[in-house]
Amino acid sequence: MIFRLREAKDKGEVEWLRHLEAAGLPVAPTLVLGFQGPNSLENEFYALANLPEQIRWAFKGVFGVRIDEEKLEAACAQAERLMRESYLLPERADELRQALPDGPLLVRYAGEAPFALEPGKQEALWALKRLWASRWGVDAVLERAPQLSPPEVPSLIQQVSALPDPDEDLSILASHALGKPIRVWSADGKIVWVAEA
């Protein structure tokens, strides 16, 4: 559920970051909340609050021959509210809090741009719930419609002091290490975000 980067088995950007760290490149300390089936932290969050069933009911009648825009907006607002008002298991929140490093923390989905830079552990936990809730915004739902379930992507929490910027030098090194054209964004001289060029 909660993995250090070197222990994470997720593919895509997580695998690239793990490979770059193993190759000796500077990678920001990264905690991976793997989305590996029913044992993922996000899935547990959904299941314990009975969110899939409640969200299904909220979206009933939205997708037909045409999309009912009024119902869509109401359903998205309801889904986001359900996400914000639900809680992680207290022991899981404690486990995550203990695993997090001190200092500013960047919260985002793997393969996606930074979502929030927070000053500490508790704020990062709140941002994590907001990140998960962001999958239920109108634009996000329309992007995957008629599929209702959000994509299964691991959440990342990274120790950085600022939002990352494009880094040409590290992009060249990362491209050599991975054997393909790669773009890198870094903060504090460490790789934070990696994407195909």
Q: What is the pLDDT of residues 137-163, one digit of tens each?
A: 999 999 998 888 898 899 999 999 999
Cα gap 185→158, rounded to integer Å: 13
45 CB-near residues (< 8 Å, 6+ apart)? 51, 86, 88, 132
Mean model confidence pLDDT for the chain: 93
Cα gap 30→101, rounded to integer Å: 9
Cα gap 138→159, rounded to integer Å: 30
Q: What share of the chain in percent tops pLDDT 70?
A: 97
| Type of residue at 125 | L
b (16+ CB within 10 A) / e for 159-179: bbeeebeebeebbebbbebbe
Q: Between 57 and 34, where is the model more confident?
A: 57
pLDDT of residue 64: 79
Q: Between 152 and 16, where is the model more confident?
A: 16
Superfamily of domain 2-196: ATP-grasp fold, A domain (3.30.1490.20)
Structural contact between residues 10 and 32, judged by C-beta atoms closer than 8 angstroms: yes
Report phi then psi at 11, rounded to 5. Answer: -90, -170
The stretch 178-189 carries a mean pLDDT of 97
Q: Where are the beta strands (DSSP E) in 88-164?
A: 105-109, 116-118, 155-159
pLDDT at 20 over 80: yes
- What pTM does this model have? 0.92
All structural domains of the chain with their residue ranges = 2-196
pLDDT at 38 over 60: no
pLDDT of residue 35: 65
* Residues 157-174 pLDDT 10s: 999 999 999 999 999 999
* Residues 39-97 pLDDT 10s: 678 888 998 889 999 999 999 988 877 888 999 999 999 999 999 999 888 998 999 99
